[in-house]
Amino acid sequence: MMTRTFSSLGLMIGTIIGAGMFALPHVIARAGFFWGLFHLVLAFCVVTCIHIFYSVVIAATPGKHRLPGYARIHLGAGAERFAFFSAFGGFYGALLVYGILGGMFLSQLFPSFEGGARVFTFLFFAVGAFVLLCNLRHVGELNFFLTFMLIAVVAVFAVLLLPYMEFSNFKIIPDKTAWFLPYGVFLFAFAGASAVPDAAEAFYRGNKAPNGRFRRVLVFSTIIPLLVYLVFITSVVGVSGQATSSDAISGLENFLGKPAILIGSLIGFLAVFTSYLALGLDLKNIFRYDTQTSALAAWVGVITIPPILFLAGINDFVSLIGLVGAIAIGIDGIIILLSALRVCRTGSQCIIGSVSFHPVFPVLLIGALSLGVVYEVFMILSRVLLSV
């Protein structure tokens, strides 16, 4: 049982902690420290609930599925198409984020290269495309290992930065245009619903009887990232204040020195590259098995869109994370919660294990996520109209 627990916990943590972490200090530095922490705790609570509700849907549904499959079974064909739309938007947005951040890390590792981060981003996509042609059996294990390397680097940085922290750096004057920005970014940073089916399979091993222990695994799988994020945010913002860089790492060179920044950039690059491969492989499998496309067409579908979007000028990875978090992850959460209502509702109550609660609770979560999606779409349309 302990092996199952640690296996499923590792899968979840390896999925959750990744590229989103590097945007958190900058977002806090723009929105204000305490307002940003409010969004952090809010996103933690919302995503933890979504993961638990998703586990209920998985346990109650025969067979192996992904979110579009669960949406079809419990909500109909229309919900399945909506889930596919959300999944593709989220996948492509996340792959683009990994490419942008990978280029930034490479530019720090090779500062004398004249092409800069932009050229490195295209190189990142090119190498990633080549690797995705290969048989990637152990990318999940590598991603898991590098995630814990990343946690270790955060711990070392926190210790090294402690002497340079000043309380005055937390007294941030909020940017009024960025008050909603932390919402989507933190949703992105905590999101791990794509790994819940795999974590459930690793835990249940064919016996999908509802289990309170697995729900505790899901809770701990977001508590651990919460603690890591708090340490990382406090350390970086406590030193850099409102001058925090968008990638969080490059702005620390004056305090930690070049060697420490190079090590942090190397670990960060490897973490985002393996995350790119893992996510690209998932998307490739969706194309192959859910839309019945050939292996070559699936590969082309994965590797072409992110560099095209980057070439079109979409290169602000912090805003992109916020958009993916608020819209794609918000839609996924709504579909999961609606499916869970169909599964766990008994009369006037919803029941999960020994816990009974009123259906208004998931309905409120659905309402909050829907408002986030509508607001983000409204902001996108406003920016488009202003640019015309």
User: What are 356's strand-pairing partners?
Assistant: 351
Maximum C-alpha span of the chain = 66
pTM: 0.89
Percentage of residues of the chain with pLDDT beyond 90: 30
Q: What is the CA radius of gyration of the chain?
A: 20
Cβ distance 27 to 181 under 8 Å?
yes
DSSP three-state, residue 348: coil
pLDDT (tens, 9 = 90+) of the chain, 388 residues, equals 567 788 888 888 888 988 889 889 999 998 888 888 999 999 999 999 999 999 888 888 887 788 888 899 999 989 988 888 888 888 999 999 999 999 999 998 888 887 788 999 999 999 999 888 876 665 666 777 778 888 888 898 899 899 988 988 888 887 877 778 788 999 999 998 888 888 888 887 766 555 678 888 999 999 999 999 999 999 999 998 888 888 888 888 888 788 878 888 888 888 888 888 888 887 887 787 667 788 888 899 999 999 999 999 888 888 889 889 999 999 999 999 999 888 876 666 677 666 666 778 888 999 999 999 998 888 877 776 666 5
Residue 282's closest CA among 200, 225, 198?
Answer: 198
DSSP symbol at 177: G
The pair phi, psi for residue 373, each rounded to 5°, is -65, -45
pLDDT of residue 201: 83
Per-residue pLDDT of 228-281, as tens digits, reads 999 999 999 999 888 888 888 888 888 878 887 888 888 888 888 888 888 888
- The secondary structure of residue 63, as a DSSP letter, is S
Rounded distance, CA 106 to CA 278, Å? 20
Question: CATH for 2-387?
Answer: 1.10.4160.10
Q: pLDDT at position 354, please?
A: 60
Residue 93 pLDDT: 92
Q: Which residues pair with 357 in a beta bridge?
A: 350
State how far the Cα of 343 lies from the Cα of 71, in Å rounded to an integer.
Answer: 12
pLDDT at residue 379, as a whole number: 80
> What average pLDDT is seen over the chain?
85
Decide: 60 and 350 in contact? Cβ < 8 Å.
Answer: no
Sequence-separated (6 or more) residues with CB below 8 Å from residue 158: 231, 232, 234, 235
CB 188 within 8 A of CB 55: no
Residues 6+ apart with CB under 8 A from 175: 30, 31
**Nearest of 223, 218, 326, 317 to residue 272 by alpha carbon:** 317
Q: Which of 48, 38, 315, 316 is nearest to 179 (CA)?
A: 38
Which residues have a Cβ under 8 Å from the Cβ of 162 and sit 6 or more positions away? 235
* Cα distance between residue 84 and residue 131, in whole Å: 25
- Among candidate residues 149, 257, 188, the one with its CA nearest the CA of residue 46: 188
What's the confidence (pLDDT) of residue 370? 94
What tokens appear for 283 in the block?
Answer: 């998307």
pLDDT reported for residue 211: 62
Q: Where are the domains of the chain?
A: 2-387
| DSSP line for 55-98 | HHHHHHS-S---HHHHHHHHH-HHHHHHHHHHHHHHHHHHHHHH
pLDDT digits (tens, 9 = 90+) for 35-70: 889 999 999 999 999 999 998 888 888 877 888 888
Q: Distance between CA atoms of 154 and 320, rounded to whole angstroms?
A: 24
